[in-house]
Amino acid sequence: MNKLILIILLIFISFQAQTIDTKAKQAVVIDFDTNEILFDKNSNQRVIPASMTKIMTVYIAFDRIKNTNFSITNKCRVSAKAYKMGGSRTFLEIDDQVSVDELLKGIIVQSGNDASIALAECLAGTEDDFAKLMNVYANRLGMKNTNFVNSSGWPDENHYSSVYDLAILSNSMVRNFPDLYTYFEMKEFTYNDISQPNRNKLLNQVDGSDGLKTGFTKKSGWGIAATAKRNNRRITVVINGTNSSRSRLNESANLINWAFNQTSQKILVDKNQIVKEVDVWLGVEKRVKLISSEKILSTLSFDQIQLMKSKIEFTKPIAAPIIKDKEYGKLHIEIEGRPKIIIPLVAEKSISKVNPFLKIIAAANYLMFGSSLNEK
């Protein structure tokens, strides 16, 4: 093949791997296992999180349930503030004693603002104090572009997040509370004789979808934090700023399906994998195996896998004594569109020096013939 044509073809292949796009104003796609960002569009831009805020409200409740005596059977009083709250509702009645289980379902399935406030007050006394707690959790999770002022996502100029921060929160929810997380799979909930479907339509239309939460305000548009699992692999997508609920569904579904269909997890190098066998200078053994000190798992497109390059760096020969597990080289892996990966290479075993009286003979033998004393 003509060299110029080959170069053009490689450029075209690289370009094709990046052609996925979305109508959402902000978006991020993350591989749950490797924590790698597969697609990014303004992911750190501050946005109005709307009802995606409720993921944090639920996260705090789950943490309390998991680590204290707080239980889903506990009862919470519905205050006047919760009862009068506008927007999406669970239709709680003032002064009713409602179980935490029902409040969680009201928040997750029905996106009830009234249920969010009732749960926040139950956990922290007031919603304002609960918002302070939300920010403590956000800081612990590394949500650097987030500030909460309420439990429901009711619009406020000081209430903001980013799709990347919401992805961090979503993945932490799945990772830290696998048993309680099943609440997000519920497709319908009835309270006070009023049945409401889960606003997350991905649950019915995308294979493997099992959460998390939609959001909408007139100013921010339609958004969703979503995750799906197929064949033991999980993908998380958060988008915001679409112009309709239909667009939100289509854009999030497209990104999830793209991630599963066009990327795959690949073990670049396994822990203790032999990478190179090299000469030993003045050692009782002539060669030593350099092995990877860690396992590197990465999520790549087919084209990235084909175009991946690697290089081994070490000093030749390696002088004895050699100490097991000590670093003697590096493996450099270059992947299109990714930071270079550098993996330390360590000695598979220890090798001592040769007898001092044989050093001169061994050195001469290596210099003259390129072999060690023990080489036959």
Q: Which residues are identified as catalytic?
A: 51, 54, 111
Identify the band that residue 189 occupies on the pLDDT scale cut at 50, 70 and 90. very high
Q: What is the DSSP string of 264-333?
A: EEEEEE-TT-EEEEEEEESBSSSEEEEEESS-EEEEEEHHHHHH-EEEEEE-SSEESPB-TT-EEEEEEE
| 217-240 pLDDT per residue, tens | 999 999 999 999 999 999 999 999
> Model's pTM, two decimal places?
0.80
Domains of the chain: 22-262 (3.40.710.10), 270-369 (2.60.410.10)
Give the H or E element holding residue 66.
helix 54-67
Which residues is 278 bridged to in the sheet? 288
Check pLDDT > 70 for residue 310: yes
Give me the chain's average pLDDT, please: 90
Check pLDDT > 70 for residue 371: no
> Which amino acid is located at 146 in the chain?
T
β-pairing, 287-292 with 341-347? Answer: antiparallel
DSSP 8-state assignment for residue 339: P
In this predicted structure, which of 42-46, 56-60, 144-148, 269-273 has the lowest mean pLDDT?
Answer: 269-273
| Number of CB atoms found within 10 A of residue 244's CB | 12
Average pLDDT over residues 235-258: 97
pLDDT at res. 195: 97
pLDDT at res. 155: 95
